[in-house]
Chains A and B, each alone.
Chain A
Amino acid sequence: MELSNIEKLLEKYFEGETTISEEKELKVYFTRETVPSHLEKYKDLFQYFSEESTIMAAKDLKFKRNKKSKYAWVGVAASVVLIVGIFLTQPTISEPKDTFEDPEIALQETKKILNMVSKYMNEGKQELVYLNEFENTTNKLLK
């Protein structure tokens, strides 16, 4: 393009009266290798504009809210499973049943078991005799 034409376009450009296609012409002209020295200063401007239009956003869109609700759903499911599990594993209380036909035999059997328990308890208590030693010494000291 002729130099005079470019100068005219530049004038129009700074008045804000160029069209988009005329501005494209300017951009093409000023991104060329050689430009007359008095127009050199405008090279930076138009080169800057074309360079800036290529900048891209680095991050991709993340649907953070969506992810949160997904996890919330997992949490709800887990707690439902937990509650159901607790109810299922709760032991059912069974009614006591009679195991003996004759109440007399039952009484004897019970006595036998109770005797056995008391025998073991007494056996255990024998070991406690040693503790009396402590009592003896404290009594000595106190009196």
Chain B
Amino acid sequence: MNNHQPIMKERAFIILTNGFKDKLFRMAKRLLVSNEEAEDATQEILLRLWRNKNKMAEYNNIEAFAMTMTKNYCYDKLKAKETKNLKIVHSNYRDERTSLQKQVEAKDSLDWVGKIMDNLPEQQRMIIQLRDIEQYNNAEVAKVLGINETAVRVALSRGRKKIREELLKKHNYGVV
């Protein structure tokens, strides 16, 4: 029976995925914001990879592949959430939530940067996550997101400038 292709053992799989598991988690957290949901997303992606382990040899970059899976998974989650939120808007519950959110101000200035990032469009958020936090190069970012490198550079610049703008605003308010 062992003459067939070698079957990857759980142990080996865990060691392999530990190399990028935290990156998947951070990416999911960047998109979904909630810690719990990001943990669930990471579990789900790893389990999907495990189920397809026999095909893993075909992918030359498993990490990039897993990152793309995470992106798609989170997009689906966000889409599902959006449709749920629409219902909430109709019954006027949403207003209350945003005002509550405003009350909970960023605790310190680092949290403030996080808040600014949460307000960026998803694609810019992901590109900054991959580039500035995970230090992927533009080619790698392009591969994960399935867009070309020029688009990556343009969105990266836009996102960074937006963050700068918000930081300046906060800085100026702080002085006045």
Contact = CB atoms under 8 A, between A and B. Distances in A.
A47 B110 contact: yes
Q: Which 3 A-B pairs have the closest CB atoms?
A: A16-B157, A57-B25, A48-B113
B26 interface: yes
Given A48-B113, A55-B25, A57-B22, A13 B160 contact: yes
B26 A63 contact: no
Interface residues of B, number: 40
A21 to B, nearest CB: 10
A42 B43 contact: no
A23 B135 CA distance: 9
Nearest to A53: B133
Contacts of B157: 14-17
Interface string B159-175: 01101100110110000
Contact of A45 (B39, B43, B154, B167): B167
A59 B42 contact: yes
Given A57-B38, A59-B39, A61-B14, 5 more contacts: A16-B156, A42-B167, A49-B133, A62-B43, A63-B10
Nearest to B112: A44
15 contacts: A14-B160, A15-B157, A17-B153, A17-B157, A24-B135, A41-B167, A41-B170, A41-B171, A45-B164, A53-B134, A55-B26, A57-B21, A57-B42, A60-B14, A61-B21
Contacts of A14: 157, 160-161, 164
B26 A52 contact: yes
B137 interface: yes
A63 B167 contact: no
Given A15-B157, A20-B135, A44-B112, A55 B47 contact: no
B46 interface: yes
Main secondary structure, interface of B, reads helix
Contact of B10 (A16, A51, A59, A66): A66
Contacts of A49: 132-133
Contacts of B170: 41
Interface of A: 13-17, 20, 23-24, 40-42, 44-45, 47-49, 51-53, 55-66
Nearest to B25: A57
B113 to A, nearest CB: 4
B17 interface: yes
B24 to A, nearest CB: 8
B50 interface: yes
Nearest to B50: A63
A52 B133 contact: yes
A94 B68 CA distance: 72
Nearest to A58: B39
Contacts of B14: 60-61
Interface in B114-143: 114, 131-135, 137
B134 to A, nearest CB: 7
B25 A56 contact: yes
